Amino acid sequence: MSINVDPGEFLVLLGPSGCGKTTLLRMIAGLEKPDRGHISLNGSPVFDSERHVDLPPERRPASMVFQSYALWPHMTVFDNVAYPLRSQRVARDRVQKRVTDVLEIVGIGHLHAQFPNQLSGGQQQRVSLARAIVASQDVILFDEPLSNIDAKVREKLRLEIIRMQRELGFTALYVTHDQDEAMTLGTRIAVLDEGVVAQIDTPRAVYERPASAYVAAFVGTVDEFKGSVIERSPGHVRVRTTGQQEWDIAIHDNAMESVVVMARPERWTLAEGSNPGRNRLTGIVVSSMYLAGSRMQYLVRTAEGIIRVWASHGAEISQGAEVTISQTPADLLAFGRES
């Protein structure tokens, strides 16, 4: 793989367990050794298999925030954060000022004399973040740092990380399998699939213009139905799916024959009654569920199977009601598949 990260960028490495995202992060940090290749930080090589360059972690201009916090239990908050500077033999007065300033930035200045076992999970992660900022303002590597924190605190810390990254200007590489976290934090997202970059782009582009069926299925929610192209024109294809439904789909690659059509649940338009036609499915509501954010999820039994529909919370449609759901050509996704 080849990835370039611009100075001051917030790049999120997103993918399922085992896709290689944490291994990649650890190779950048110097905690894992690649078989071959080249890694540069701030324009200088820290690993180059051909030139036999392999700088140890402490000589690389990057610091790391771990999932497990990695705090020394016998040290106070201040001493944990000061450790990187003291190991570099920075003058005592500079250590005092630098650590005090960073503790205030991350909002835990009042906890400087506490020990890790006296802190909540969110506070411990702030200590870990402060230590990383003290160690390096160039590149900070985040290895799923919020996965052990409850939802409310996690949401607050996401916003804090964004604020600090913009305020301090460091380059961030952030590993997560959480799609919402990736969408919130990243200026760009790299979606990984078994050690390969499946797509790297802005969060909006990854969601609205996924490069493959894998990316579309991993980022967001989709229902899928198989079909074949029966007609094509510039920028469009017409597909007949296994339920004998026809779909017009806006697509750049119209050379495909067999396709998988993907529909996101929030893009359906839902109406009561039967009104069949192209880009429409008629069906029966089999269940409904209230979702956060004033939305309802309906499960609709159709000729294509059970389809999820997320609709604005208005007058609730009862179970057993006949409905029609539709999507525009621009909202549907289609990707080639093996016959």
- Give the model confidence (pLDDT) of 297-328 as tens digits: 999 999 999 999 999 877 789 999 999 999 99
Q: Whose CA is closest to 186, among 13, 40, 306, 6?
A: 13
How far apart (Å, rounded) are the C-alpha atoms in residues 87 and 67?
23
Residues of the chain with pLDDT > 70, as a percent, come to 99
Alpha carbon distances (Å) from 29 to 62, 125, 202, 224, 279: 7, 19, 24, 39, 49
Task: Return the pLDDT at 339.
Answer: 54
DSSP 318: P
pLDDT at 254 over 70: no
Q: For 280-299, write each residue's pLDDT tens digit.
A: 999 999 999 988 777 899 99
Question: Residue 111: CB partners within 8 Å, gap ≥ 6?
Answer: 77, 103, 119, 123, 127
How far apart (Å, rounded) are the C-alpha atoms in residues 145 and 156?
13
Q: For residue 99, what are its two tokens? A: 């650590």
Question: Residue 161: CB partners within 8 Å, gap ≥ 6?
Answer: 129, 142, 172, 185
Mean pLDDT of all residues in the chain? Answer: 92
Greatest distance between any 2 Cα atoms in the chain: 77
Alpha carbon distances (Å) from 281 to 51, 54, 82, 317, 332: 60, 58, 62, 16, 13
> Which phi and psi angles does 302 have, rounded to 5°?
-130, 180
Q: Whose CA is closest to 260, among 300, 301, 208, 212?
A: 212
Task: Return the pLDDT at 41.
Answer: 94
Q: Give the model's confidence band at 83: pLDDT under 50 very low, under 70 low, under 90 confident, else very high.
A: very high
Place of tokens 């360059």: 53
Is the four-CA dihedral 86, 92, 97, 103 of positive or negative sign?
positive
Residue 276 CB-half CA count within 13 A:
8
Task: Return the pLDDT at 1.
Answer: 87
Task: Return the pLDDT at 154.
Answer: 84
Query: What angle, 0 to 180 degrees and rounded to 10, lies between the N-to-C axes of helices 77-87 and 121-135?
Result: 20
How far apart (Å, rounded) are the C-alpha atoms in residues 110 and 108?
5
Query: In 14-150, which residue ranges form alpha helices assigned H by DSSP?
Result: 21-29, 77-87, 92-105, 121-135
Task: Return the pLDDT at 291.
Answer: 85
Which string of DSSP letters, residue by residue, matches 138-185?
SEEEEESTTTTS-HHHHHHHHHHHHHHHHHH--EEEEEES-HHHHHHH
Task: Return the pLDDT at 157.
Answer: 86
How far apart (Å, rounded) are the C-alpha atoms in residues 83 and 265?
49
pLDDT at 214 over 80: yes
Task: Return the pLDDT at 262.
Answer: 96
Q: For 88-108, write each residue's pLDDT tens digit.
A: 899 999 999 999 999 998 889
Q: For 175-202, write each residue's pLDDT tens digit.
A: 999 999 999 999 999 999 999 999 999 9
Q: For 19-48, write each residue's pLDDT tens digit.
A: 999 999 999 999 999 999 999 998 899 999
Q: Is residue 82 packed enough to be buried (19+ CB in 10 Å), middle (13-18) or exposed (0-12)?
A: buried
Buried-exposed string 259-285: b where 16+ CB fall within 10 A, e elsewhere:
bbbbbbbebbebeeeeeeeebbbbbeb
